[in-house]
């Protein structure tokens, strides 16, 4: 059986999926046809139902629950891992609503967290995550950064206004649910569980070799230094990546609740969020 699988080229995803897609573990008869894309593209494809299995932002999950169920393995959740709102120059919290804000995709978790913290800030532009530092550096406005930009913005003279993940944690007392892996609901329970098990095995294999960085991670890392690659993996791959558990599931349910509060009238099918 061949299944399409989408994830990002970021080190945390290539770390997670390397063993699975490069035949370093037994895939139990499943072949994975991989597509590597930025997360906003994957979010849109999830809305369209394009892939069998895909990484997505938890911010888009409310829009795709009729098509997909969340797998227990492969997620990016944690504490202190959230997006940052940055500026070129000194700005205060009170200044934010008057500025143009660059967001890394309309349906991203970063956008949801920004909207929770700044509901009155409506002057936004949506860009690929790797374009936002340059947007801010050029003086066009403020920006919400994710991924490796967390480790590079200060070196470029940019300033943090607020850690949106820290805001989420204080407001909800939950870890931050950034992104996860979902599978098409039309697959039977056995295939869902097998896929979940294989992703967990792939992560366990990767951890058994860490801190070694293989060529698969390097080849997709956009010229990051090895130090930044490891920081990326250390930040986004953790116990919740191996298994969501009760705490991880509760955080995702809380995000769905927050989404509903920000989008009144949105119907969310939340009684079968997770795969069996």
Q: CA 66, 72, 74: angle at the middle one, nearest 5? A: 100
Q: How confident is the model at residue 130 (pLDDT cuts 50, 70, 90)?
A: confident
Instruction: Identify the pLDDT of residue 270.
Output: 56
> Does the pLDDT value for residue 213 go beyond 80?
yes
Q: How confident is the model at residue 263 (pLDDT cuts 50, 70, 90)?
A: confident
Tens-place pLDDT, residues 137-146: 999 999 999 8
Kindly list the distances between the CA atom of residue 51 and the CA atoms of 32, 55, 68, in Å, as whole numbers in the listed order: 11, 10, 10
Q: DSSP assignment of 110-179, as one string?
A: HHHHHHHH-TT---EEE--GGGHHHHHHTTS-EEEE-GGGGGTTGGGT-EEEEEHHHHHHHHHSS-EEEE
- Side-chain half-sphere of 45: how many Cα atoms within 13 Å? 23
Instruction: Identify the pLDDT of residue 50.
Output: 98
CATH architecture of the domain with range 84-172? 3-Layer(aba) Sandwich (3.40)
**CA-CA distance, 246 to 2, in Å (whole number)?**
31
Q: How confident is the model at residue 269 (pLDDT cuts 50, 70, 90)?
A: low
Q: Is 111 a catalytic residue?
A: no
- Reading phi first (left if > 0) and then psi (alpha if -120 to 50, else beta), residue 275 is in beta
Residues 6+ apart with CB under 8 A from 272: 65, 69
**CA-CA distance, 228 to 212, in Å (whole number)?**
13
In the chain, where are the structural domains located?
Answer: 2-77+176-262, 84-172
> Does the pLDDT value for residue 191 go beyond 60?
yes
Instruction: Identify the pLDDT of residue 2.
Output: 95
**CA-CA distance, 29 to 18, in Å (whole number)?**
17
Instruction: Identify the pLDDT of residue 271.
Output: 61
Q: What is the mean pLDDT of residues 156-165?
A: 94
Q: What is the mean pLDDT of residues 172-189?
A: 95
Residues 6+ apart with CB under 8 A from 208: none
Q: How confident is the model at residue 275 (pLDDT cuts 50, 70, 90)?
A: confident
> Does the pLDDT value for residue 268 go beyond 90?
no
Q: How confident is the model at residue 221 (pLDDT cuts 50, 70, 90)?
A: confident
Instruction: Identify the pLDDT of residue 158.
Output: 95
> Does the pLDDT value for residue 223 go beyond 80?
no
Instruction: Identify the pLDDT of residue 255.
Output: 93
Active-site residue identified among 111, 147, 159, 220:
147
Tens-place pLDDT, residues 67-106: 999 999 999 998 888 899 999 998 999 999 999 999 998 9
Chain position carrying tokens 């994710």: 146
State the pairing for strand pair 84-87/142-145. antiparallel
CB 190 within 8 A of CB 183: no
CB 83 within 8 A of CB 17: no
Q: How confident is the model at residue 222 (pLDDT cuts 50, 70, 90)?
A: confident
Tens-place pLDDT, residues 39-55: 889 999 999 999 999 99
Q: Burial level of 268, CB count in 10 A (0-12/13-18/19+)? A: middle
**CA-CA distance, 145 to 66, in Å (whole number)?**
29
> Does the pLDDT value for residue 194 go beyond 70?
yes
Q: How confident is the model at residue 276 (pLDDT cuts 50, 70, 90)?
A: confident
User: Are 2-77+176-262 and 84-172 in the same CATH fold?
Assistant: yes
> Does the pLDDT value for residue 108 go beyond 70?
yes
Highest CATH level, class, for 2-77+176-262: alpha beta
Q: Look over the chain and give the mean of its residue pLDDT values, rounded to a whole number.
A: 93
Q: Burial level of 80, CB count in 10 A (0-12/13-18/19+)? A: exposed
Q: How confident is the model at residue 261 (pLDDT cuts 50, 70, 90)?
A: confident
């Amino acid at each position: 059986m061949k299944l399409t699988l989408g994830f990002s080229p970021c080190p945390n995803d290539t770390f997670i999926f390397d063993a699975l897609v490069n035949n370093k573990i037994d895939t139990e008869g499943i072949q994975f046809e991989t597509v590597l894309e930025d997360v906003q593209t994957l979010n849109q494809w999830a809305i369209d139902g394009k892939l069998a299995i895909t990484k997505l932002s938890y911010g888009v999950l409310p829009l795709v629950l009729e098509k997909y169920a969340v797998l227990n393995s492969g997620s990016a959740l944690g504490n202190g891992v959230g997006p940052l709102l940055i500026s070129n120059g000194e700005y205060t919290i009170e200044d934010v609503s008057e500025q143009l804000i660059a967001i890394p995709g309309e349906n991203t978790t970063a956008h949801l967290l920004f909207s929770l913290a700044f509901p009155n800030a409506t002057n936004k532009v949506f860009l690929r995550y790797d374009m936002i530092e340059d947007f801010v550096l050029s003086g066009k406005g403020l920006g919400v950064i994710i991924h490796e930009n967390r480790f590079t913005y200060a070196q470029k003279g940019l300033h943090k206004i607020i850690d949106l993940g820290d805001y989420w944690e204080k407001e909800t007392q939950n870890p931050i649910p950034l992104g996860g892996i979902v599978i098409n609901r039309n697959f039977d329970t056995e295939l869902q569980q097998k896929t979940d098990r294989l992703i967990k095995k792939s992560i366990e294999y990767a951890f058994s070799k860490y801190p070694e960085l293989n060529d698969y991670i390097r080849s997709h890392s956009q010229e990051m230094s090895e130090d930044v690659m490891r920081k990326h993996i250390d930040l986004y791959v953790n116990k919740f990546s191996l298994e969501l558990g009760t705490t991880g599931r509760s955080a995702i349910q809380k995000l769905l609740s927050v989404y509903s509060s920000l989008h009144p009238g949105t119907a969310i099918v939340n009684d079968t969020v997770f795969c069996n």
